[in-house]
Amino acid sequence: METIRLNIAGREYPLRVPAGESAKLEAAAAAINAQYAAFQKQFNIDDARDLLAMTALNLLSTAPPSTPASASTSTPAIAPETLNRIEPLIQRIQEELEI
C-alpha cells in the first residue's frame, strides 16, 4: 500500500492505495479537475457542489457502457474491496461540500 494525495476541485484527499494503482487514480482526478474547470469557465458557476454534480454526470454519461463480467474480459468488474475503499472517499467529498 502507498499513500497518495489527490486534489479534486481544490480540496486535497489523502488515500492509501495498492501499489501500482496511484497512476490510475491520479489520472481520474486530473480528468475530474479538467472537466470541473471547463464547466466553471463555460457556465461561470462558482458553487462546487453544482460543478461536481455536472462533472460526475458528464463523465459517467460519456464513459463507455459497462458490460457484465461474464460478457467481456476486457472490462473487469469492480471488486468489493475497491468499492469499500471508494465509498469513504465519496462520503468525505460530500461532507466537505456541505461545509
pLDDT for 73 equals: 44
Q: In this predicted model, what pLDDT tens digit does every residue of 33-62 receive, in sequence order?
A: 999 999 999 999 889 999 999 999 888 888
| Residue 54, domain member (yes or no) | yes
- In order of 31, 44, 50, 75, the CA distances from 12 in angstroms are 15, 23, 19, 29
Total domains present in the chain: 1
% of the chain surpassing 70 pLDDT: 81
| Residue 70, domain member (yes or no) | no
Question: pLDDT tier at 26 (50, 70, 90 boundaries)?
Answer: very high
Half-sphere exposure of 9 (CA within 13 A, CB side): 21
pLDDT for 77 equals: 59
Residue 49 domain boundaries: 2-62+76-97
| Residue 14, domain member (yes or no) | yes
| Residue 26, domain member (yes or no) | yes
Could you tell me if 51 and 12 are in contact, meaning their C-beta atoms sit under 8 angstroms apart? Answer: no
Q: Which residue type does 35 have?
A: Q
